[in-house]
Amino acid sequence: GENVEQHPSTLSVQEGDSAVIKCTYSDSASNYFPWYKQELGKGPQLIIDIRSNVGEKKDQRIAVTLNKTAKHFSLHITETQPEDSAVYFCAASMKASGGSYIPTFGRGTSLIVHP
């Protein structure tokens, strides 16, 4: 099955700095890569996603890059703010029977943004 590695497990930055979280995956059949943010006491929530036919996607301060050849993808957050503090999960997915994507998640990165 798919295996997703995520690094670092903890990331501490000063407000205004950039933060980068990196993931690798093992199965070249994976073609959908979502990123989720989980705030304390809540369920994860999708913040950005990318498909395998795209190399980069940006949404305001958040961007994701994908290198299919190397099987790695990254989340970039610029101008970090204290409200960005949360646990971030990457995932790699392929289409299952019935048409939905079943993700395999990384172990998560705890991002702490110091004011």
Partner 1 sequence: DAGITQSPRHKVTETGTPVTLRCHQTENHRYMYWYRQDPGHGLRLIHYSYGVKDTDKGEVSDGYSVSRSKTEDFLLTLESATSSQTSVYFCAISDPARERNEQFFGPGTRLTVL
Residue 24 sits in the site that holds partner 1 (CB under 8 A): no
Asked whether position 32 contacts partner 1 by CB under 8 A, the answer is yes
Choose the binding region for partner 1 from 20-28, 36-44, 61-69, 75-83 (rule: CB under 8 A): 36-44
| Assigned token pair, 1 | 């099955």
Name the residue among 22, 36, 38, 14 with its Cα closest to residue 76. Answer: 22
Site for partner 1 in 38-67 (CB under 8 A): 41-46, 49
Looking at residue 18, the DSSP 8-state letter turns out to be -
Site size for partner 1, by CB under 8 A? 27
In whole angstroms, give the CA distance from residue 85 to residue 114. Answer: 9
Interface region with partner 1, contact rule CB under 8 A, candidates 54-62, 63-71, 76-84, 101-109 = 101-109
**Strand-by-strand arrangement of the 62-67 sheet:** 4-7, 19-25, 72-77, 62-67, 56-59
Binding region for partner 1 (CB under 8 A) out of 11-19, 57-65, 72-80, 99-107: 99-107
Cβ proximity of 113 and 84 under 8 Å = yes
List of residues contacting partner 1 (CB under 8 A): 1, 6, 9, 32, 34, 41-46, 49, 89, 93, 96-108
